[in-house]
Amino acid sequence: GKMDESPPHGHEEVLRRMSLRTAAFLSAALGTLAIATAFSFLGLSAVKQSSQQVLDERLLLARTSAEHVDYALRQVLRQLNVTLQPDSVPVAAGPAAQELYERLKQQIPLSVRFVSLLDARGAVLWNEPENPELKGVDFASQPYVARTLANGEAVISEVVFGILPARPLIFFSVPIKNNVGGITGLAQVAIDPEASDIGDWVQPLRMGATGYGQIVDKNGIVLASTEPGYLFQKAEHGQQFANLV
């Protein structure tokens, strides 16, 4: 039969008419494109891996800082558990209460604002130093007081507002028990977190131009931050952080 002499398709015709040099150039170009694509993929993979490594390092640093803060506060609470024994806490205001206040200021590496003794109902027996602004304060309604009196365990409060004007406080609350283990009241130590240099504990978390570190309580209130403008405000992701506390 007659050989099919129909003209080749467009791309076949182009390839047939190309010189060897042109074909080699196209092959090289395609090879370069493939190599460039491979390097581009490897570059994106390296960037992704590097970003993940930075994130992992920040998470590790944040976890270490949080554990350090938690350990330091619990050490203070344990120390108060030893110091605030029934025989060392005076039942009335006076020189003994003043001496206890001065001793705690020396022992605790935090800024002590005042010390109080409450009875089993949460009513104040004395505050040291005496402060007119504390008269009439209903400590019995505070959740940390209720927990201490109900469970007989020393606790650390969340940030408490409204006790002293424009002065957020944190309370260390220790139960006072009688000889048979009954709860007769509690001793509380009020800490000024702003004057306690707690912010120094999060300075290592300052990483990058946009990164910052914060310590938040169970209510999502910022106790310390590498950005001072956030102090004692609701954290941007406060509830998410609070759920981790």
> Model-level pTM?
0.71
Question: DSSP assignment, residue 124?
Answer: E
For 121-130, the pLDDT digits (tens) are 999 999 999 9
What is residue 25's predicted lDDT score, i.e. its pLDDT? 42
112 vs 45, which has greater pLDDT?
112
Q: Which amino acid is at 100?
A: L
Residue 63 is given by DSSP the state H
Q: What is the pLDDT of residue 38?
A: 59
The residue behind tokens 């102090």 is 231
- pLDDT for 39 equals 53
Residue 221 tokens, joined: 């209130």
Q: Give residues with Cβ within 8 angstroms of 241, minimum separation 6.
A: 214, 216, 220, 235
190 dihedral zone (left: phi>0; alpha: psi -120 to 50; beta): beta
Phi, then psi, of 89 in degrees rounded to 5: -110, 110
Per cent of the chain over pLDDT 90 is 44
Q: 229 with 208: CB under 8 angstroms?
A: no
For residue 191, count other CB atoms closer than 10 A to its CB: 24
Rounded average pLDDT over 169-192: 94
What length does the chain have? Answer: 245
From the CB of residue 80, how many other CB atoms can be counted at a distance below 10 Å?
21
pLDDT computed for residue 37 by the predictor: 55
Cα 85 to chain centroid, rounded: 31
**pLDDT reported for residue 34:** 53
Q: Among 57-71, 123-137, 151-165, 195-209, whose mean pLDDT is lowest?
A: 195-209
Q: Is the pLDDT of residue 192 over 80?
A: yes
Mean pLDDT for the chain overall: 78
Helix (H) or strand (E) holding 65, with range, is: helix 20-83
> Rounded CA gap, 158 and 41, in Å?
49
Nearest alpha carbon to residue 186 among 242, 121, 97: 121
pLDDT top residue among 50 and 239 = 50
Residue 2 confidence (pLDDT): 47
Structure tokens that stand for 35 in this block: 């190599």
For residue 232, name the pLDDT band (cuts at 50, 70, 90). confident
- Residue 239 pLDDT: 54
DSSP 237: T
> Which of 59-68, 134-143, 172-181, 236-245 is least confident?
236-245
Radius of gyration of the chain (CA): 34
Answer yes or no: is pLDDT of 209 > 70.
Answer: no
Are the CB atoms for 13 and 7 separated by under 8 Å?
Answer: yes
